[in-house]
Structure 1
């Protein structure tokens, strides 16, 4: 049921035109290459929840909105006006999903244009386009249906790459990217079994189903302060696919031994914490190139009551941080396009460029090659990315194996595709539920 007035949504006292202005500003910044996360941090706290919700919806429908704007005006207006017009079109092209009545959205979008210096001169143009859209909506939407960018709300190159990489699953991947991500928890086994924590949630009216070996997927997302024991480290928020990493790297190891483990690109520390939950005696070195992001690692570990050595350093420059002692295990969650987590970060699809995947694959290959000598014989390195592009998965690993004859690929999930049955996991009878797209390859250094 849609709200009946611009300020009738719970917790939103600001007029809708202000929310639309801030949302359009975020859309314009995304088009100019700035992340939505950074934009939302600049939005006043009182407006942020509403702007985030609207921004997510707009960015998930921006392909359709842009195609509609091209039908209404072949020549794009100035960037600020175009962003506002496309914001309105994204929110009202499908009345079943519109967060407000369409006439309200149109009126408030025109008011937003009038109230802002950058768009005042185009307010009449925006008004004319949106009034025409209201009159001819069915025909205009139908005219954009054959356009794959409008149909799938991803750049054309992205669609074509998924078709080539995953010919049997590309449609499912694009459909999944449009769905809101579920809230998945990782239960800290140092405090509870999964079943015991599930019972606590159930007692609070928060039903959840088990996923993976340590996870619970909530039926409905809630603020973390509502999770019992969250502040005490009893549970963390982590996607089910991301929870695979620690279990996969540690399988077969005696978790009571003080293994030397490197978490090479560790921020914000979710995987670091999971490693230490499973192996509290481990000597973990967690690296991240960004000192501010290292603070996030510290905060997460402090909440969990765990200790690791955290360094702000470039994993690709071991001469600046390595003590010369080999690691028993290395986790390399390499920089990537993040093409597997677009439902959580809908701006990513519009930020990435066709050449990004190949450039990032080179960085991934360099990190693999640089860190491999730091691994002890018989040790294991887990390479993973939150990408569904094969250039950042299978292709990188196969090239590495050809160059390094002392490397063996152990049973690994490979590409974890949302909606598909995972393969090669430690436990096969407890699937991952709804999860992000990931790639995993477990590499073992042969003993010479």
Structure 2
């Protein structure tokens, strides 16, 4: 419900929505979970709020630095703190409308905490406008503010990629590209490029399945999306099916499968008997939604990949895709809340989970079978380091290949290792 003081299409209402979303993330909720707050909002308000939220979260460190200089102590009221971050982002991204932003942010603050922070919001934003030049000069000397990543994250990137870390950071801070996977059961890449051209959308083919759009568009604008002609999938994510290389008649396991993009790609690639598994029942339902849109069929199961006794029928698989839980450090530009939510200690926790899944799934693979281990991480502990340790534990495994994709203009960050069971 929109407060009487704010119109549903006003900047103030969008800033208020953004503030509430940012407060939920600050409280530990993922942005994906928090977005339920936008249900029922008019499209213009939703789009404006999302623009501010994504921009504010991408500027992790920068906005924190500015507030640290503009306030004598941190603000305990999360929604007002979120409002200040949202308004500062808007002031920086739309400098031609600074007075409107301040006015609308103050009006929005009147709907929070009974309006007790209106004076503070007004004072902080006007102080920013007065001190902007000196603040931005000081900001350049603070690496967390400058690079907009947690300090521990920057240190890991420097160690792992001494020549490339700044390029990775720049890609992380930019809006992501929009790439598509053509369902070749319903047409060719060339056919789909013609459909895009007819809809006045510029795009180029990438590989056997992929199309990269020049400009992102809503999915309902994509020709044939609801008829299953195409799916939105990053070019790096499309690599999984090619590496697993399913052939007709194979029995395949897609572990940790939700929301089903890689599952669908495998099914589009060959006529296979596929089991799609995920530990989260709600996310597993999304696999079914994906497959129905594409008119594909698979067996779906809810279960922990590290506990096969709860769901496995005892028949070995010809191939296994182990797309394991990870830090998601390679897709942070799509999920910028990760910068705020992730802690360095989480990497070790993910690594332990990944090892458990690898050890549990390996006995389910037939001799001569292939497993593709996948993450959307750029941290070696979850990637090559994880596979190195697994190969020490498992003498019957051989690493055929590995690939580390780094975030760039064309794709997100992924790691793939192809393993063969030799005994």
TM-score (norm 2): 0.94
Q: Which residue pairs with 1:62 in the alignment? A: 60
Q: In 2, distance between residues paired with 1:56 and 1:83?
A: 12
Q: Which residue pairs with 1:324 in the alignment? A: 314
Q: In 2, distance between residues paired with 1:402 and 1:324?
A: 26
Residue 344 of structure 2 aligns to a residue whose secondary structure is coil
Residue 389 of structure 1 deviates from its aligned partner by 1.1
The equivalences for 1:403-414 within 5 A come to 403-413=393-403
Q: In 2, distance between residues paired with 1:375 and 1:366?
A: 15
Q: Which residue pairs with 1:378 in the alignment? A: 368
Residues 37-76 of structure 1: CA deviation (Å, up to 9, x unaligned): 1212122422322211110111112311111111112311
Residues 307-359 of structure 1: CA deviation (Å, up to 9, x unaligned): 10001111111111111111000001000111111111111111101100110
Residue 106 of structure 1 deviates from its aligned partner by 1.4
Matched, 1:24 2:14: no
For these two proteins, the number of residue pairs brought into alignment is 414
Residue 113 of structure 1 deviates from its aligned partner by 1.4
Q: In 2, distance between residues paired with 1:247 and 1:101?
A: 49
Q: In 1, distance between residues paired with 2:219 and 2:54?
A: 20
Residue range with higher mean Cα deviation, 236-245 or 212-221: 212-221
Q: Which residue pairs with 1:399 in the alignment? A: 389
Contact 2:172/2:407 (<8 A) preserved: no
Matched, 1:195 2:193: no
Contact 1:40/1:52 (<8 A) preserved: no
Matched, 1:337 2:327: yes
Q: In 2, distance between residues paired with 1:62 and 1:84?
A: 15
Q: In 2, distance between residues paired with 1:403 and 1:340?
A: 27
Alignment RMSD: 1.6
Correspondent of 1:417 among 372, 394, 406: 406
Q: Which residue pairs with 1:428 in the alignment? A: none
Alignment CA distance shift 1:315-1:149 (3 Å): same
Residue 212 of structure 1 deviates from its aligned partner by 3.0
Residue range with higher mean Cα deviation, 184-193 or 261-270: 184-193
Q: Which residue pairs with 2:51 in the alignment? A: 53
Q: Which residue pairs with 1:357 in the alignment? A: 347
The structure whose residues are more often helix, as a share, is: 2
Residue 235 of structure 1 deviates from its aligned partner by 0.9
Residue 260 of structure 1 deviates from its aligned partner by 0.5
Q: In 2, distance between residues paired with 1:380 and 1:390?
A: 22
Q: Which residue pairs with 1:236 in the alignment? A: 231
Q: Which residue pairs with 1:112 in the alignment? A: 108
The equivalences for 1:179-190 within 5 A come to 179-190=174-185
Residue 213 of structure 1 deviates from its aligned partner by 2.3
TM-score (norm 1): 0.89
Contact 1:40/1:48 (<8 A) preserved: no
Contact 1:288/1:313 (<8 A) preserved: yes
Residue 130 of structure 1 aligns to a residue whose secondary structure is helix
Residue 306 of structure 1 aligns to a residue whose secondary structure is coil
Residues 193-238 of structure 1: CA deviation (Å, up to 9, x unaligned): 2122112211221111112321001111222222222222111111
Q: In 2, distance between residues paired with 1:305 and 1:402?
A: 42
Structure 2 gap ranges (5+): 1-5
Q: Which residue pairs with 1:123 in the alignment? A: 118
Q: In 1, distance between residues paired with 2:34 and 2:282?
A: 18
Residue 13 of structure 1 deviates from its aligned partner by 4.8
Matched, 1:89 2:88: yes
Q: In 1, distance between residues paired with 2:85 and 2:342?
A: 19
Q: In 2, distance between residues paired with 1:179 and 1:147?
A: 20
